[in-house]
Amino acid sequence: MEVVIVDGPAEAGALAAARIAELVAAKPSAVLGVATGSSPLETYRSLAARRDAGLDLSRVSAFALDEYVGIRHDHPESYHAVIEREAVRPLGLDPSRVHVPDGLAADLDAECEDYEARIAAAGGVDLQLLGIGANGHIGFNEPSSSLSSRTRVKTLAPATREDNARFFDSADEVPVHCLTQGLGTILDARRALLVAQGESKARAIAEIVEGPVSARWPGSVLQLHRRATIVVDEAAASQLELSDYYRHTVEHRRIVQPGV
Ligand code: GLP
């Protein structure tokens, strides 16, 4: 696991965007795993600025991590709408190459299976962008999620519904169920890039980076990933015991790999 500590949210977004831009430069038809929530917003902003400067993302395919069950796609907080507003339009993605699980499907299990098949048909995800919930969830894989789970229906933890109530008119409006890529699905991505900012994520970051691999803190599954990078600002890094070592490794890597 590579841990990079940066000053603040803007720097975290810039670094994540640089990694994505590097991938797209090498592979213009890359398959990107996209995330919702506030964590990746700076990354999208920074990528949009790179697009203004000439980065072409029109051949990139994108797969969202998750979607609520039962809210219309045109509801402003459906992940269909969020991905369209925060990623597809500002980045100039081709909507026909962008996929979000359908939480309105008549047969949700079949939709989950089909979503896995669509990812496989696209050649798998090259880089999965991730945020993290305060309880350690990635995607909507709540604590106790199987570490090898695939895309499926999940019940949101009450804490997650409370966290996400800020996006809805009332807490009751937050859906109870969702579809989410599984932890096994996320592990299959060729690279994983998790961004976290702020004090509220400090415990989760310490648990997933330095704690045991455990379904109690689902993001800890990234310790099993071959190329996982965690980009955190100072506040989100504040409970890491080995932060001096992570800074040291980044400094020293620059000597052998100046572009990193
Ligand atoms: C949401 C999403 C996750 C996201 C997390 C954190 O509910 N399903 O993909 O990483 O919770 O959200 P935020 O980045 O707004 O803190």
Please tell me whether the overall predicted TM-score, pTM, comes out greater than 0.85 for this model.
yes
pLDDT in tens, 204-229: 999 999 999 999 999 999 999 999 99
pLDDT of residue 95 exceeding 90? yes
Active-site residue identified among 66, 67, 126, 233: 66
Q: Are strands 228-233 and 2-6 parallel, antiparallel or unpaired?
A: parallel
pLDDT digits (tens, 9 = 90+) for 235-252: 999 999 999 999 999 888
pLDDT for the residue numbered 253: 76
Order of strands across the sheet that contains 61-64: 2-6, 228-233, 191-196, 127-130, 31-34, 61-64, 98-99
Average the pLDDT over 102-114 and give the result.
Answer: 98
Could you please state the CATH topology (level 3) that the domain comprising 2-256 is classified under: Rossmann fold (3.40.50)
Q: How far is the CA of 153 from the centre of ligand 1 (A)?
A: 17
**Which residue CA neighbors atom 1 of ligand 1 most closely?**
37
> Is 52 tagged catalytic?
no
Residue with the smallest CA separation from ligand 1 atom 3 is 139
Cα 256 to middle of ligand 1, angstroms:
35
Structural domain boundaries in the chain: 2-256
pLDDT tens across 148-189, in order? Answer: 999 999 999 998 899 899 999 988 999 999 999 999 999 999
Ligand 1 midpoint to CA 133 (Å): 5
Mean pLDDT of 108-132: 98
Query: Residue 258 has what pLDDT?
Result: 55
Which of 128, 131, 168 is CA-nearest to residue 37?
Answer: 131
Catalytic residue among 42, 80, 116, 135: 135
Residue located nearest, by CA, to atom 11 of ligand 1: 133
Q: Which of 126, 158, 166, 99 is nearest to 21 (CA)?
A: 126
State the angle between helix axes of 9-26 and 41-52 in degrees (0 to 180), rounded to the nearest 10: 50
14 CA distance to ligand 1 middle (Å):
19
Inform me whether the pLDDT recorded for 100 exceeds 80. Answer: yes
